[in-house]
Structure 1
Amino acid sequence: MYRIILSVVVLALGFVLTAGGVWLALVGGSWFYILLGILLIVSGALLLMRNAAGLALYGITLLVTLVWSIWEVGLDWWALSARGSLLMVLALLLFLPPVVRAMRPSGEAPARYGMNSMVLLISFLIAAAIGVYSMFLTPHDVAGAFSQERMAAEADAEGDVPPGEWAAYGRTSYGQRYSPLDQITPQNVSDLEVAWSYQTGEVRGENDPGETTYEVTPLMVNDTLYICTPFSTVIALDPVTGEEKWRFNPQLQQPPTQTTQHMTCRGVSFHAASPADLPATPPAAEAPQAAAEPGEEEEAVAAGEDEAQPEDQAAKGSEAEGEAQVAQSLDEVTTQAAGVPQNVVTGQAESDDPNPTVEREEPPQSVTLSEECMDRLFVPTSDGRLISISAGTGEICPGFGGEDGTVNLWANMPNVTPGSFYSTSPPVITEDNLVIIGGAVNDNAATTSPSGVIRAYDAYTGALVWNFDSKNPQATEPIPAGETYTENAPNFWSVASYDPELGLVYIPMGNESPDQYGAARGENTERFSSSVLALEAATGEVAWVFQTVHHDIWDYDVPAQPSLVDLTINEETVPALVAPTKQGDIFVLNRETGEPVLPVAEGPAPPGAVEGDFTAPMQPASAVSFRPERLTGADMWGATPIDQLYCRIRFHQLDYEGIYTPPSTNGTLVYPGNFGTFNWGGVAVDPSREVMFGMPVYLAFTVKLVPRPDDTTRVVTEEGEAIINENFGAPYAVEMGPFYSPLNLPCQGPPWGYIAGVDLRNGKTVYKHVNGTVRDLAPFPMPFEMGVPGIGGPIVTAGGVAFLSGTLDYYVRGYDLATGEEIWRARLPAGGQATPSTYRGADGRQYLVVVAGGHGSTGTEAGDSIIAYALPQ
């Protein structure tokens, strides 16, 4: 029976591979699977007939497959495994006594091991030896190291942020993710231990959007650690003990599930107020106020003597009162849009009803700055508000937008639909006391999306100082009451950087919907989409714009905060900007002019857009690049030859001419996919060593345009599901997702994730190493170092250590910045898809703090843990 079962398995495998091989050959792929299938069929038939020659033929088949595999992929163990692992298992089973002894005509004595079985054994041993040898090779790694002289560069501790603090998303407004602390080094990092841990109590639930994610980078300012949860709750912790100091609940109004795509908070912004700063004068369109005598407002601000706002009302009040203020503010927002029958599909009012307009509230002329509100946090929420709270107590700071300390980001928005617009990233705060904020607009929901307008508010009063609408870029003066911004304007959803000396804010720009079809885009959309945009921080006027993708129909929006750094280029100091992109290019630009510092060249791109649309004939390419090589059929992968064959067939069925192959109705392979080689986690830049450390990721996606019958019918989702990829109002909906096999494994072979170090003086990649295990991706724990995708960002330190927790296995890791070698790791209780931070506590120790809460769209374990590590006392 054992022999029969194995013989049938070999026969069946042969028939499957033969049939699949014919199919593959017909679509233009390799003919080898036909040969392999025929050899297996003959071998299986001989075994079924008790003919020992079937063993020898199977061994020969194994060797033939090995030779072909090495010819295709070299000594890459994971690629060889996809082709030969199943065959190796069957070879071992065929060599066992029950099969060998059964190789005789019925009634004769049991057969013994002989020449045929020895051929099988020798073939197995040769294949096993080569396989074991290849396991110790690293064909995808680039080995290298920065010089000792480079690593010995004096730490950069300049700037307004004390060395021991982490005061902004990227530590400073320069967005470098660099700390001048050097207590933790490559020599002692292995001694790191958990100093404390804390749980927020807020975890993704069944009724929350699928992409409810912990992406927060903790701040540490004035001996307090600040975090926010995906639900916009802000929590202050003691940075040495992890004990909770206070908690602010914004009373979030969660929008309908079908119109909500994301629930996250990447961070809050800290602002140290100054009594000498006057609130900005409200726009002229606001109702006039009685003129104050010179100096009156300044005195009121400094002394807190505004009679209209008693100090106890402005600065104190119970937590319940603060929550009531927030709830009242939210009720007012909701009420303005109430009573109008909303079409949640398109984001517009029904045909006979006016589209609701949320009016901008009249800001106060002056504010009272209580002692508690001199240091404040600005909190963006996923229901479209920006709230000012005390950094010391967590209570509302009245005056910013009114008594409730809230600015309504829905003000003057078109197409008001809860859940379709929100801010997920912390705002920029300038030296002129402006709070500059953008917002996320739902991807691929409708052409009637809200606007992606960027706005600057007075940090004290909440008065709108300027607005930049990318479809109306000249109109930066505050929009008049009763008017709305242009719908579906390209937005800014990630994190911006700010250079106070140049007075410029640097913004990573997104697209308008739909992402994969651009026939209807106007001139300004084509100019600002997928670009790095420099605006005058004081006025919102365009200083320069550098486009990273022309006519982007791949969702290659610029996802990450640009990192600002002064670089030594040809022995001259250049004010530079480092901008990572989804397609894998790292654009290094002069941040004063927008001109490339390291070479950028325009190269040809594939044509072939769907009818009515077009492609840009040329696309920019940076000399600093982690673009993947163009995929071929040989790059397809699987756990067995069967699913590997499936992926090869599917690969040849899809439209694919390399990067920038346009989306089609047939289906297109998009590589890199819109997950991005780099995403919002960005890169880390060491300003003293002029080194960049990043986590490039490689994951192919498939995209298929689906013709729409009308503007409102669902095509790719069911009623009640979240509206995504429907593109209401456009000619096409879109089906898209990772390029996976039926076993839910990537069709392209590993590695899927790396870490890399770049010399920013010349743009050369010094090292690139496979990063991450499949322990938490496999059906059962397998700690294979295959290189896994990740999302989240790295940080670097003057101590010469880089830290990263974003990989899809649940680890935080430390790396030697000089070589990229992993030198420490610690297990996390959930996915760590956030960017860590580091600081010095009051006890003198350097702490590393990591958020482990999981990421909805990657499927990692949800959690609510904040974990701090430090060296032993």
Structure 2
Amino acid sequence: MRTAFITLLKIAGIILAILGLCLGAGGIYLISLGGSWFYFIAGVAMIVIGLGFFKLRAFALWWALALLIVDIAWALFEVGFDFWQLVPRVITFLVIAAVASFAAPLLLNNKGNTALAKMPAFGLGAILTLGFVAFIAGMFKVHPLVESDGTQAVEIKPDAGQVDGNDWPAWGRDTLGNRFAQFTQINRDNVKDLKVAWTYRTGDLAVDGAEYQVTPLKIDNTMYLCTPLNKVIALDPVTGQEKWRFDPQAKITESTKGWKRCRGVGYADLAKLQPAANTETPASPATTQAVATTCQKRIIETTIDARLLALDAETGKLCEGFGNGGYVDLTEGLTPTPKTSDQGTYNVTSAPLVADGVIMVGGRINDNLTVGEPSGVVRGYDVVTGQLLWAWDASRGAKDSTPLPKGQDYAPETPNFWGTAAYDPKLGLAYFPTGNQTPDFWTGNRHPYSDEYNDSIVAVDLKTGKERWHFRTANIDQFDYDVSSQPILYDLPKDGKTIPVIIQLTKRGQIFVLDRRDGQPVFPVEQRKVSTDAMPGMQVAPTQPHSALSVGTEPFKEKDMWGGTIFDQLICRIEFKQMRWEGEFTPLSDKKRTLIYPGYYGGFNWGGGAIDASTGTLIVNDIRMAQWGQFIKQEVAERTGLKPSTEGEYSVQYGTPWGVVRSMFVSPLGVPCFKPPFGSMTAIDLTTGKTKWQVPVGSIQDAPVHGIVPGVYMPIGMPTMGGPLVTKGGLTFFHGSLDYYIRAFDNDTGKELWRGRLPVGGQGAPMSYIGQDGKQYVVAVVGGATRTGTNANRGDYVIAYALPDKK
């Protein structure tokens, strides 16, 4: 047995010396780049320890213990007690020290004595092993970024949410985009008992580029949702039984074959139409005439082949008097896209805003493909007739919102709006966020009006489309930071008065809070200098706006580089030092890769946030994934076999001097090269601006790395998609993590109170209502985690949760 242990120890010594050589060599290179010396020192120490193991010499133990002590001191100096930052820094050397301790009775000094006798050696080894076990155990626990102080939120609006009764009549529950339900039947005390009440399968699997990102509506005794192929389905909200379905037979084009989504539908009750208060012009004649005897209650949908349609909410049949036989062609007035299929690239994926007799829609275009993309025009249509009422586009801005005469086209290349708008019925103003002029990464061809309106919040009169004000969240966007989440409208008590605010989340992680009457910041916004070292021909801005409220926006430093082990962490640090990085908005170059953080997926993406309207607590989920990008000549990309796509690792950008290669910033092991979490949930008290708590969301359990699914629940915090639901029961529900769970968090502490296993991952936002049976339901629609690139683990589930009946 002793011989076997000695043999194993010698083999370990050889392996350790080789690893130390690699670590030391990499450490030398990192030093040459101006990086940390620790990896070189650790590599040398590992070589010495490996040599000691091989020669069975006592110095191996003392070097191993010294290395561990130095390592812990260095780790604490760099990252303090940040658990996930400590893991790759400490575990390797903790294991080496533990092995050296257990091997001490086999290690001899110059006098032939053992380094330590068995009892003290095994005792030291046991202590170090306990430290290792403690680290492993810590991987299965949630480590908050901001700990709650336990203070209970003060209720400032007891009647919040009651105007919509027991229903969920709009995508964000109301036109304010609050995603707040005043129901308390499911609460902190009993959420642990939540069970599946019913499950429905739509029949449209989320495969071949289809994704379920829908939030259903519930009006009276019917639930309405759409599938990625734009089939509209009506269900009984108590039983999940199908009432009707309608298939618009959306055409799949080259543009949409890999991008099929329907995030929601709209609803209108024509019997309740009336002019919005305080508008500058009266309602259109169509919306004030006697309503039709059919289709009084309407479901409004936009499609991936660019149509707007109206259905009878009771029967699911087309409203023949709307548009042309129930349809409106949204491509009218749009120019065709060059270098694409004849069917163009314009389509609509988000829920329309339907309010006060107007349907308000924007549109999605393909990013990064070519110059000359169709206009980003935002249009308002009459909900009764489908008549075009107004059209706002950036090329005309505040000057004119009247529709162009038939046969004329809206200016191409203007920033578009591809999310869902919000509406304030008291002010009569609708609010929508914009993107930027494509292609996203080359700014040399930008129009002045595109720069003026890129990544903006625009306020328009809902009845006329006339612009009231706009506010820009980024200057000359170089990184696809288009603003996509639905604005949240809230009446905020502040400084002894109530201010009607608009809360806009951005991909940059910035949260802009503005007075929605005039667009003036309520929380301070400052312009900060950024790098302007750009390629010839690029337009760049010298400053960028930063809000006093933000999440996950701290600039990266070398010490923030991560990795599953000390070895890939070293590689990540080397790659970081090799990249261009002078902070956010460091311009892309053709010479070497540029780090992009916050990444172009967010920050905050289209899912948006929610607000506990009774307490003024804003709750948001974010993404923390860095990317890198580099310009490349299109002919070089073609010669090297890169395949262009709008979402992949090469974007061709026809009509510009450069294509772009880009990707996630990950280690050779496939894990992110930057510190966790990679997604979090945050609660902010808007009355003070203070972050109440911040916790990582999501585990590695179901997220494949190089095709391998870990299968273990480690809540490190994964990228999030979709948005939260907040209830007056003190709960935040969320199912947009990469693992297959729906969760309920305590609104006051961020503590996870309940977790339900899903059949597949989700990426939409849950909703809640009270059914005719008097029970509160929470509903999630799930079809698979976001962008897996495969048809495996996909679904078509609508799942309703409720408390079990009392026996």
Taking the aligned partners of 1:624 and 1:440, their CA distance within structure 2 comes to 28
Picking from 382, 398, 409, the partner of 2:330 is 409
Taking the aligned partners of 1:642 and 1:481, their CA distance within structure 2 comes to 64
Question: Helix, strand or coil: the match of 2:76?
Answer: helix
What is the aligned partner in structure 2 of residue 31 from structure 1? Answer: 37
Larger Rg: 1
1:699 and 2:625 aligned:
yes
Picking from 349, 371, 393, the partner of 2:315 is 393
Taking the aligned partners of 2:286 and 2:551, their CA distance within structure 1 comes to 54
TM-score by length of 1: 0.83
What is the aligned partner in structure 2 of residue 330 from structure 1? Answer: none
What is the aligned partner in structure 1 of residue 477 from structure 2? Answer: 552
1:793 and 2:790 aligned:
no
Point out the more displaced range, 42-51 or 670-679: 42-51
1:608 and 1:614 in contact (8 A); partners too: no
CA 51–796 in structure 1, closer or farther in 2 if over 3 Å, else same: same
Post-superposition Cα deviations, 1:77-131, rounded to whole Å, max 9, x if no partner, equal 322221232333444455566x9658799xxx9x977369967973783585388
Post-superposition Cα deviations, 1:307-365, rounded to whole Å, max 9, x if no partner, equal xxxxxxxxxxxxxxxxxxxxxxxxxxxxxxxxxxxxxxxxxxxxxxxxxxxxxxxxxxx
Taking the aligned partners of 1:857 and 1:795, their CA distance within structure 2 comes to 23
Taking the aligned partners of 1:387 and 1:182, their CA distance within structure 2 comes to 36
CA 298–746 in structure 1, closer or farther in 2 if over 3 Å, else same: closer
1:866 and 2:790 aligned:
no
What is the aligned partner in structure 1 of residue 350 from structure 2? Answer: 425
Question: Helix, strand or coil: the match of 2:271?
Answer: coil
Question: Helix, strand or coil: the match of 1:441?
Answer: coil
Question: Helix, strand or coil: the match of 1:646?
Answer: helix
2:157 and 2:613 in contact (8 A); partners too: no
Post-superposition Cα deviations, 1:218-272, rounded to whole Å, max 9, x if no partner, equal 1001211111111111111110011111111111211126x65521111011111
Post-superposition Cα deviations, 1:109-156, rounded to whole Å, max 9, x if no partner, equal 9x97736996797378358538838948947223234545x1475131
2:26 and 2:570 in contact (8 A); partners too: yes
AA of the residue aligned to 1:498: Y
CA 834–722 in structure 1, closer or farther in 2 if over 3 Å, else same: closer
1:8 and 2:14 aligned:
yes
The 5 A counterparts of 1:649-664 are 649-664=574-589
What is the aligned partner in structure 2 of residue 453 from structure 1? Answer: 377
Taking the aligned partners of 2:16 and 2:510, their CA distance within structure 1 comes to 46
Q: How much has 1:10 moved relative to structure 2?
A: 0.3
Taking the aligned partners of 1:452 and 1:378, their CA distance within structure 2 comes to 21
Give ranges in structure 2 of 5+ residues lacking alignment.
1-6, 276-284
AA of the residue aligned to 2:694: K
What is the aligned partner in structure 2 of residue 310 from structure 1? Answer: none
1:260 and 1:420 in contact (8 A); partners too: no
Question: Helix, strand or coil: the match of 1:155?
Answer: coil
1:836 and 1:850 in contact (8 A); partners too: yes
1:155 and 2:159 aligned:
yes
Post-superposition Cα deviations, 1:478-512, rounded to whole Å, max 9, x if no partner, equal 22222222222110001100112211110011111
2:603 and 2:623 in contact (8 A); partners too: yes
Picking from 157, 166, 169, the partner of 2:168 is 166
Point out the more displaced range, 116-125 or 450-459: 116-125
Taking the aligned partners of 2:286 and 2:470, their CA distance within structure 1 comes to 38
Taking the aligned partners of 1:274 and 1:669, their CA distance within structure 2 comes to 54
Post-superposition Cα deviations, 1:509-536, rounded to whole Å, max 9, x if no partner, equal 1111121221221121011110101111
Q: How much has 1:857 moved relative to structure 2?
A: 2.1
Picking from 549, 553, 557, the partner of 1:632 is 557
AA of the residue aligned to 2:297: D
Q: How much has 1:54 moved relative to structure 2?
A: 2.7
Give ranges in structure 1 of 5+ residues lacking alignment.
279-295, 303-368
Picking from 650, 668, 681, the partner of 2:594 is 668
Q: How much has 1:174 moved relative to structure 2?
A: 0.8
Post-superposition Cα deviations, 1:808-837, rounded to whole Å, max 9, x if no partner, equal 221111122122222111111111211000
Point out the more displaced range, 488-497 or 777-786: 777-786
TM-score by length of 2: 0.90
CA 544–719 in structure 1, closer or farther in 2 if over 3 Å, else same: closer
1:53 and 1:116 in contact (8 A); partners too: no
Q: How much has 1:443 moved relative to structure 2?
A: 0.9
What is the aligned partner in structure 1 of residue 451 from structure 2? Answer: 526
What is the aligned partner in structure 1 of residue 195 from structure 2? Answer: 193
Taking the aligned partners of 2:441 and 2:564, their CA distance within structure 1 comes to 32
Question: Helix, strand or coil: the match of 1:848?
Answer: strand
Question: Helix, strand or coil: the match of 2:29?
Answer: helix
2:225 and 2:232 in contact (8 A); partners too: yes
2:95 and 2:132 in contact (8 A); partners too: no
What is the aligned partner in structure 2 of residue 768 from structure 1? Answer: 694
Point out the more displaced range, 618-627 or 772-781: 772-781
Question: Helix, strand or coil: the match of 2:390?
Answer: strand
Taking the aligned partners of 2:643 and 2:288, their CA distance within structure 1 comes to 60
What is the aligned partner in structure 2 of residue 254 from structure 1? Answer: 252
AA of the residue aligned to 2:519: G
Q: How much has 1:66 moved relative to structure 2?
A: 2.4
AA of the residue aligned to 1:527: E
2:645 and 2:651 in contact (8 A); partners too: no
Taking the aligned partners of 2:286 and 2:573, their CA distance within structure 1 comes to 72
Taking the aligned partners of 1:73 and 1:220, their CA distance within structure 2 comes to 48
CA 690–808 in structure 1, closer or farther in 2 if over 3 Å, else same: same
What is the aligned partner in structure 2 of residue 605 from structure 1? Answer: 530
Taking the aligned partners of 1:223 and 1:152, their CA distance within structure 2 comes to 31
What is the aligned partner in structure 2 of residue 309 from structure 1? Answer: none
CA 561–727 in structure 1, closer or farther in 2 if over 3 Å, else same: same
Taking the aligned partners of 2:499 and 2:788, their CA distance within structure 1 comes to 39
CA 748–610 in structure 1, closer or farther in 2 if over 3 Å, else same: same
Question: Helix, strand or coil: the match of 1:264?
Answer: coil
Q: How much has 1:34 moved relative to structure 2?
A: 1.1
Picking from 641, 663, 680, the partner of 1:754 is 680
Number of aligned residues: 774
CA 719–684 in structure 1, closer or farther in 2 if over 3 Å, else same: closer
2:58 and 2:115 in contact (8 A); partners too: no
Taking the aligned partners of 1:58 and 1:580, their CA distance within structure 2 comes to 49
Post-superposition Cα deviations, 1:348-407, rounded to whole Å, max 9, x if no partner, equal xxxxxxxxxxxxxxxxxxxxx343x1111111111111111111121111122212x111
What is the aligned partner in structure 1 of residue 305 from structure 2? Answer: 383
The 5 A counterparts of 1:105-116 are 114=116
Taking the aligned partners of 2:79 and 2:286, their CA distance within structure 1 comes to 73
CA 443–855 in structure 1, closer or farther in 2 if over 3 Å, else same: farther
1:55 and 1:117 in contact (8 A); partners too: no
Post-superposition Cα deviations, 1:604-633, rounded to whole Å, max 9, x if no partner, equal 222212222132222211112214322111
What is the aligned partner in structure 1 of residue 280 from structure 2? Answer: none
Taking the aligned partners of 1:15 and 1:635, their CA distance within structure 2 comes to 24
AA of the residue aligned to 1:865: Y
AA of the residue aligned to 2:360: I
1:697 and 1:754 in contact (8 A); partners too: yes
CA 7–299 in structure 1, closer or farther in 2 if over 3 Å, else same: closer
AA of the residue aligned to 1:397: C
Taking the aligned partners of 1:475 and 1:89, their CA distance within structure 2 comes to 70
Taking the aligned partners of 1:834 and 1:122, their CA distance within structure 2 comes to 51
Taking the aligned partners of 1:79 and 1:146, their CA distance within structure 2 comes to 28
Q: CA RMSD in A?
A: 2.9
1:50 and 2:51 aligned:
no
The 5 A counterparts of 1:321-720 are 369-371=292-294, 373-403=295-325, 405-416=326-337, 417=341, 418=343, 420-431=345-356, 433-473=357-397, 474-665=399-590, 666-709=592-635, 717-718=642-643
Question: Helix, strand or coil: the match of 1:271?
Answer: strand
2:421 and 2:431 in contact (8 A); partners too: yes
AA of the residue aligned to 1:155: D
AA of the residue aligned to 2:220: N
Taking the aligned partners of 1:812 and 1:388, their CA distance within structure 2 comes to 32
Q: Percent identity?
A: 37
What is the aligned partner in structure 2 of residue 312 from structure 1? Answer: none
Post-superposition Cα deviations, 1:627-658, rounded to whole Å, max 9, x if no partner, equal 43221111111111111111000110111122
Post-superposition Cα deviations, 1:32-61, rounded to whole Å, max 9, x if no partner, equal 111111111122223223334334433332
Taking the aligned partners of 1:137 and 1:413, their CA distance within structure 2 comes to 50
